Copies of this chain bind each other. A is one copy, B any other.
Amino acid sequence: MTDRSRTPAENAELALLLEVAGTPKPGNVDRHRDLDDLRFEQFLAGSVGSARGLRAAADGAPLGGAFERAVRGMSRQSGGNTQFGCLLLLTPLVSAAAAGDLTREAVRERCRVTTVDDAVAFYRAFEHVDVAVGDPPEGVDALDARRGSDAEPALRERGTTLWDVMELSADPDDGVPDTNAAEWIEGFPRTFDAAEAVLADDGAVLDRAARSFLRQLAAEPDTLVATTHGESVAESVRERAASTLAAVERTGSLDPAEALAEAFVDEGINPGTTADRVAAALFVALERGLAV
């Protein structure tokens, strides 16, 4: 008699909460760890605040505006940027899921048809929180994300869509390629693969989230670590995650990841882009029947 289903916007908000609760998630805030400047409860508030923007995405609002609204709501806590990257991934996923078509092709198509207005809204979202981004490619200073609304004339003059922005970020002429932007351009291959792995995994949801994080961090250097510490540090972080993942799989215990979590927090290593994709993967898994 009771309707057992959550809406896509509810599943997206729940994915944000499960992501931050998943533990250990080395280098990130999790159920058992805060960072110096970012606390667990700020992620809880960020998740609640995001919900209206996520509902806008589900209701068919343009992706840029829905994203900006979600970020504005997320920013209503004192920790700063908690889930900017998560929301960038979740917005098109929620939009597609609400239309009953949560496939790689359908999500990619939604991203592909974004407009200049979407790009303008995306840039405006940077005014709500400080986001760690790399320098813009040479010659496109006018499109530096940190310019916020000031970038609007340049975006309009060039006819730059949100898709174009993501394409540039995914594969810049110089600087660090952004794997979240690559998800937009490539139809979320990492996210959908990770969702299937979460569904194929067993055990408690928060343990699955932790293993998903470790698998993804072992597979590819984290964009945020590369941006803040350089690409060689990001590669070494990837290698340490791969060793830890091997130990976790060999022992069947997450304990080896606890040690890595302590180490990364001590070293100031925050693989936040990988955590973003855990949230996205959990959303897809929830839509596909992951039980909580």
Contact = CB atoms under 8 A, between A and B. Distances in A.
A259 to B, nearest CB: 19
Interface in A155-202: none
A247 interface: no
A206 B51 contact: no
A109 interface: no
Contact of A41 (B42, B49, B78, B206): B206
A39 B204 contact: yes
Nearest to A34: B204
A5 B13 CA distance: 19
Interface string A24-48: 0000000110000001111011011
Given A10-B48, A10-B49, A48-B14, A2 B41 contact: no
Contacts of A128: 2
B1 A127 contact: yes
A212 interface: no
Contact of A76 (B5, B18, B78): B5
Contact of A72 (B2, B49, B78): B2
- Give how many copies assemble into the complex: 2
A150 to B, nearest CB: 14
B48 A13 contact: yes
A292 B6 contact: no
A138 interface: no
A140 interface: no
A234 interface: no
Contacts of A75: 2
A93 interface: no
A281 to B, nearest CB: 15
Interface in A1-29: 1-6, 10, 13-14, 17-18, 21
Interface of A: 1-6, 10, 13-14, 17-18, 21, 31-32, 39-42, 44-45, 47-49, 51, 72, 75-78, 127-128, 204-206, 291-292
22 contacts: A2-B75, A2-B76, A3-B76, A4-B76, A5-B76, A6-B45, A6-B76, A10-B48, A10-B51, A14-B44, A17-B17, A17-B47, A17-B48, A18-B41, A31-B31, A31-B32, A39-B204, A40-B206, A41-B205, A44-B292, A51-B51, A78-B292
